[in-house]
Chains A and B, each alone.
Chain A
Amino acid sequence: MEFKEIIIKDFLSYYGDNSIEFSDMTTIIIGQNNTGKSKLFDAINFAIYGRIFHTGKGVNGEWIYDIKEISDFILNNRKKIEALEGNEQTVDSGVQLNIELDTSYLNIDRKVIYKNENGSFKYDRYEVSVSEIDKLDGHIISSDSHKDDANSKIEQYFSRSIKDYFLFQGEAASKIMQLSKGGNFSKAVREIARLSVFEDAKEIADGYSKHVNNILVRKINKNKELAEKQAKLQKELDAIEEDIKKYTEKRNSAQSNIDAYKEELNLLEPKLSQMKEFEEWFKRKNELESNIQKIKKDLKNANSEKTEIAEDAVFYKISDKINSFKNFYHDLENKGEVPPSIPRAEIVKALDYCRCTICDTDLSEGSPAREIVKRRLPKCDTDKLGNYLRDLNIIFGNMIDDNQKVPQKLEDILDRKRRLEERKKSLLEEKEEIASQLESVKLSEEHSEEKKKEIEELRKSINHYRNLLERAKTEFDRNDALIEEKSKMLQNLRTQQVLEIGNSSNTDITDFERFWSSYAPKVAEAMEKLYKRAHDTAYNKVEEKADEYYRKMTQDNAGLIGKIKIDTQNSEIYTIDENGDRILNINQGNRISIQLAVIAGILTIAQEEFGQQYPFVTDAPVSALGGDNKLNTIQTMIDAFEQSIIVIKDDSISKNKTNDEIRNLIQNSSYVGMAYELSMSDAQTKNNQHTVIKRIKG
């Protein structure tokens, strides 16, 4: 990386457009106090980082980054006056910096635009743009005009951590020597040595390795999980198969039993069938015996019924006689041969009505009939036959219907009696027959008893086997159902097993994955080594190189110089003597030399080891140095940096010998490609003065 040219426009002491080209080696800018040397340094800082150094701020001055604050004093005074006089509405103040990269040019343009408001220029806006142009064909590689994008682009090449190293301001040297973690020096070393890049790469490689490892571990675990699942499934399958086997055995056993029992029954049942004759005989015998008993009972009943019928018959005969007598009496009564059996109440009633209620005879007063009845009346109650007949009338009146049925009933009873007699006769005959039959089998009675027992035993056995058969059938059916159920489960599990094996067929670790998993950790390990190497190199080589420069800078010193030590543990940079002890009393000159040597060391190592090349720009680096150290330091800077821009005070007017030697160095050193002398223009007022640039070499 090289700074090619800076164009400063109406910026601080620079009026109009001021171009300074830089040598690809060393450019020295000299000038007396207040001629714009530090303003040039500010211009470079403004272009890259948008900052300027404000000497009036803080104890020793401070860098300002706030653009509004910066805008308050960067507009060149002369330009401001002229623009107001010319009634210009807008003016701008800024810097363009052209940088050469490996294969392209980077052009940075940063400016503040002011607007005329009632006779004074006020901040209007802030513009930053960066464009990258291809070296070979001049095409624009990128162009960022948005402030944030442009600043990001600049930061890709100029990290903020290194700003105070390659843009070195002598007075601020002590600040950048902080070694503590996160301190300026550590940050700069990290940035210049690209430790952050190696660290990022290391972390990415590490993450990548873990990522690959995780994928494989997941896969292995998945396989393991699957194997466990399969084993579990297989175990279930085995258990079910075992169950099916067990139930099948039971079912087969039940089937064997069924067959055996059926066989037994097949043997027993015909036997029983063969004994049917005996059975029939026993049955018939039992029936006959039962019938005899029944007949005996029926006969007994018939006899009893006969008695009853006889009693009824007597009753009905008596009542028939009574009825006959009654009819006879009524005939007599009607003939008047016997007194009517008229109740006393009827006679009284007839007398009252003066007419007989029975025969309608006139019974009026004085009639002969009335006289007869009156005479008859006292006898009525005493007439026993009359009373008796009256009672009979009442009784038989009620029984009249039954009396009418008596002949039929008698007939029925007699018929029943006859049938019973017949049945009795028949039963007795049957009984006789059975008795005869029983008599005929009497001789084999003993034998039949045995048969009877045999049949009973046979039937018992048959029943026993039938029960066993039923139980065996139930057992068979139960086991058959269980086999069916388990077979279904087996089928389902086998389907599941097939599906799972099918779905997980890609879980085997492939050759590619083995290949992948072998290289991912290798890269992580290699990046870890690289980072460590970079880290150690950054500090060790910077120390080595810084010491080398320090020796060159102080080569003419008579006193103890020592060796530069970068103490990363205690976060300090100091010098040590030949015994390794820290040198405590270091003069200001040597301190500045140490600082410059360390910076030179950092930038050199960045270039040599890490491929990072930065121009070295310094303002008043040797102001605190005296004697030969000043010249040696400048010479060392010229030797150390590929490109350096050194801004130093011109003391030639005071006829200082050393200063003359600087001018001689400018003229004589072939490494100093260009040199400029800054002065202030002649003007009536201080406000009209501005920096004048004179090229004195190149």
Chain B
Amino acid sequence: MDKLKQTIPNIIKQALSDEDEITRNLMLVLLNEVYSNPNKESQKKTAQRALDDYIKTAYDLNKSRGNYGI
């Protein structure tokens, strides 16, 4: 994600600014996976796995902040 963050195109920056933090990060996770893995066959799996991982992290973080659920 770092590589993408360094050179986030304007179009993505604008789209990200409309969203909340978790959605924004999920978008970045997804785009990073698609950018860095042009292989369509494995792209979907790796992207979904990355989204799963981030959602879990975000949930744990949210919970540790005292926010249960949404």
Let me know if A519 and B48 touch, CB within 8 A. no
- Number of B interface residues at 8 Å Cβ cutoff, please give it: 37
A514-548 interface (Cβ within 8 A of B): 514-516, 518-520, 522-523, 526-527, 529-530, 533-534, 537
Instruction: Check: A316 CB closer than 8 A to any chain B CB.
Output: no
A339-360 interface (Cβ within 8 A of B): none
Let me know if B34 and A610 touch, CB within 8 A. no
- Nearest residue (CB) in A for B8 is A611
Take A197-B35, A204-B47, A207-B44 as given contacts and tell me if A527 and B11 are in contact as well, using a CB distance cutoff of 8 Å. no
- Number of A interface residues at 8 Å Cβ cutoff, please give it: 36
Indicate which residue in B3, B31, B55, B59 contacts A197 across the interface (CB closer than 8 Å).
B31
- Residues on the A chain within 8 Å of B35, using CB: 197
Indicate which residue in B15, B19, B20, B30 contacts A205 across the interface (CB closer than 8 Å).
B30
B2-30 interface (Cβ within 8 A of A): 3, 6-12, 14-15, 18-20, 22-23, 26-27, 30
- Residues on the A chain within 8 Å of B30, using CB: 201, 204-205, 523, 527
Let me know if A534 and B69 touch, CB within 8 A. no
Let me know if B7 and A102 touch, CB within 8 A. yes
Q: Mark A499-523, 1 if CB is under 8 A from B, else 0.
A: 0000000000001101110111011
- Nearest residue (CB) in A for B67 is A515
- Shortest CB distance A606–B (Å): 9
Instruction: Check: B38 CB closer than 8 A to any chain A CB.
Output: yes
- Nearest residue (CB) in B for A211 is B48
Indicate which residue in A156, A200, A201, A608 contacts B10 across the interface (CB closer than 8 Å).
A608
- Shortest CB distance B26–A (Å): 5
- Nearest residue (CB) in B for A606 is B9
- Residues on the A chain within 8 Å of B11, using CB: 193, 530, 533-534, 537, 609-610
Take A201-B31, A526-B27 as given contacts and tell me if A208 and B15 are in contact as well, using a CB distance cutoff of 8 Å. no
Let me know if B44 and A530 touch, CB within 8 A. no
Indicate which residue in A211, A522, A533, A612 contacts B14 across the interface (CB closer than 8 Å).
A533
- Shortest CB distance A65–B (Å): 21
- Residues on the B chain within 8 Å of A211, using CB: 48
A207 to B31, CA, bound (A): 15
Indicate which residue in B6, B22, B43 contacts A204 across the interface (CB closer than 8 Å).
B43
A398 to B46, CA, bound (A): 133
- Nearest residue (CB) in B for A611 is B9
- Nearest residue (CB) in B for A518 is B70
- Residues on the A chain within 8 Å of B69, using CB: 511, 514-515
A412-434 interface (Cβ within 8 A of B): none
- Shortest CB distance B18–A (Å): 7
Could you tell me which B residues sit within 8 Å of A by CB distance? Answer: 3, 6-12, 14-15, 18-20, 22-23, 26-27, 30-31, 34-35, 38, 40, 43-44, 47-48, 51, 55-56, 58-59, 62-63, 68-70
What are some 17 contacts across the A-B interface (CB < 8 A)? A102-B3, A103-B3, A155-B38, A193-B11, A197-B31, A207-B48, A208-B51, A515-B58, A515-B70, A518-B70, A522-B19, A526-B23, A527-B30, A530-B12, A537-B11, A609-B11, A610-B9
